[in-house]
Amino acid sequence: MPVFCHRCGSGLPSTARFCSNCGNVVNVAAPATSRPLLRPHIGRQIAGVCMALSLAYGWDVGIVRIFTVLGFCFSGGMVGVAYLAGWIGIPEEPFPMPGPTQPQP
Ligand SMILES: [Zn+2]
């Protein structure tokens, strides 16, 4: 699938991340490292829902938290319900502690 630069319109290989003609950033929709939707233990503030969403989708965690707090204030409780649903529905990240008791895959 060919990729075209949005700024100058030149054709680029599908693996290109920057335009070789003008330097414009392309292919920003595909993050380099995708991870499953898990609530991490490190870096969380309340339940890790914002951190899980930001890590899974490549969003900035600060922006996610700002929108969540604004949503708490102005959505009439909808974001609160969604946060609780994420707290319940998104599994916690397993502790990365290798040991003899951990089952081997
Ligand atoms: Zn370009």
pTM recorded for the entire structure: 0.56
Distance from Cα 4 to the centre of ligand 1, integer Å = 8
Residue ranges covered by each domain of the chain: 33-95
Distance from Cα 31 to the centre of ligand 1, integer Å = 20
* Identity of residue 60: D
Q: Cα–Cα distance between 42 and 52 in angstroms, integer? A: 11
- pLDDT average, residue stretch 45-69: 90
Q: Cα–Cα distance between 26 and 6 in angstroms, integer? A: 8
Measured CA distances, 1 to 13, 15, 70 (Å): 8, 10, 39
**Residue 24 CB contacts under 8 Å (≥ 6 apart), including other chains:** 5, 6, 7, 8, 18
Distance from Cα 34 to the centre of ligand 1, integer Å = 26
- pLDDT average, residue stretch 92-104: 70
- pLDDT average, residue stretch 32-42: 78
